[in-house]
Amino acid sequence: MSITLLPSISDGVATFDASLLLQQNEGPAMTSPTSSDNVFSKVSETIPFPDLARVSEMNGTMLSETAKFNAQIGTALQNIGKEWSEFVGMRLREDVQLFRTIHDCRSVQDLQHAYAQFWQTAFTQYGEEAQRLMRMTQGTVEDAARTAQATSDVLIHPHTDKAA
């Protein structure tokens, strides 16, 4: 008994038809085929075989789109990091300025005014920075969602024209 695979291509999909061929031996052990052999000899089973060109194209597209996505996210994270670093630098300069202002104070009222001004400015600046970072993060998430959707569309429908 042997199995023969016969290749065929239909609608761009390669398949193999598996047929079980019975070989009769002249020895006493194989005088007649068993009932399970008869089932295989009557039924031809189609085994799907992937279209390797399409798989390769999808992998290339996926890698390309993932690289674009990673570059976009990396740039966004750099911008957020830069914004935060600039803010921290500005706040450190404000801290240093507080010590200079305290050094120049001549009365308790001057000291109270310096601290009040410092904390009022700090709260305002931290609030503004939090809003700025939230807008940047929201924009990044929205861009990432659009990119992910576009990537999904490219992978699902790779040959459609986006201008249509």
Identify whether residues 25 and 105 lie together within a single domain: no
Does residue 39 sit within a domain? yes
Cα–Cα distance, 77 to 84 (Å, whole number) = 11
Looking at the 3D structure of the chain, how many domains does it have? 2
Task: Give residue 152's pLDDT.
Answer: 78
Residue ranges making up the domain that contains 72: 53-156
Is residue 59 located within the same domain as residue 140?
A: yes
Same domain flag for 17 and 70: no
So what's the pLDDT on residue 159?
63
pLDDT of residue 94: 96
Distance of CA 112 to the CA centre of its chain: 53
147 and 95 fall within a common domain: yes
> 69 and 9, same structural domain?
no
In angstroms, the CA 90 to CA 38 distance is 85
Q: What is the pLDDT of residue 21?
A: 44
Position 129 scores a pLDDT of 97
- Confirm if 69 and 148 have CB atoms less than 8 A apart: yes
Helix (H) / strand (E) containing 16: strand 13-21
Question: Mind spelling out the 3-state secondary structure of 41-89?
Answer: HHCCEEEECCCHHHHHHHHHHHHHHHHHHHHHHHHHHHHHHHHHHHHHH
Of the candidates 56, 44, 62, 54, the one whose C-alpha atom is nearest the C-alpha of residue 14 is 54
Cα angle value 99/100/101 (rounded, 5°): 90
In a domain, 120, yes or no: yes
139 lies in the same domain as 73: yes
Q: Report the distance separating Cα 138 and Cα 78, nearest Å.
A: 15
Same domain as 95, residue 42: no
Mean pLDDT in order along the chain per 10 residues (164 residues):
54 52 47 54 58 76 84 92 97 96 95 96 97 94 86 71 49
- Domain assignment present for residue 93? The answer is yes
103 shares a domain with 139:
yes
Does residue 33 sit in the same domain as residue 67?
A: no
